[in-house]
Amino acid sequence: MTEKRFAFADIPDHLAAIRHIIEEGEAVELTQEGEPVAVLISMQTFQNFKREPPTFWDALQAFRRQYADELTECDGSEFDGVRDRSSGREVVL
């Protein structure tokens, strides 16, 4: 297993390993005096963090586009016979 935690002082000695870890999509924790103080991440991961999340409407539209072939129109007939029309149980107040 590759170490994913490095002291700032050790960065020059492990630069190639740090770069490899980041390129694999993993985060590298940087420490100073044993305490974590920073994290290195790939540019792709950083861009994902920076990107604004879609609005609900945009996410819904994207979902509909993605699953358009699987979605069918609902005319309500799917629910025919679902409701129990009996009077139900007696209520005592």
Residue 17 counted as domain residue: yes
List, for residues 50-93, the tens digit of each pLDDT value.
989 899 999 999 998 998 877 777 777 878 888 888 888 888 88
Q: What is the DSSP letter of 30?
A: E
Return phi, psi of residue 36, to 5°: -65, 130
- Domain ranges, residue 22: 1-73
Residue 87 counted as domain residue: no
Residue 79 counted as domain residue: no
Q: Looking at the 3D structure of the chain, how many domains does it have?
A: 1
For the CA atoms of 53, 42, 35, 9, the dihedral, rounded to the nearest 10 degrees, stands at -160
List, for residues 16-59, the tens digit of each pLDDT value.
999 999 999 999 999 999 999 999 999 999 998 898 989 999 99
Q: What is the CATH number of the domain that holds 56?
A: 3.40.1620.10
Residue 82 counted as domain residue: no
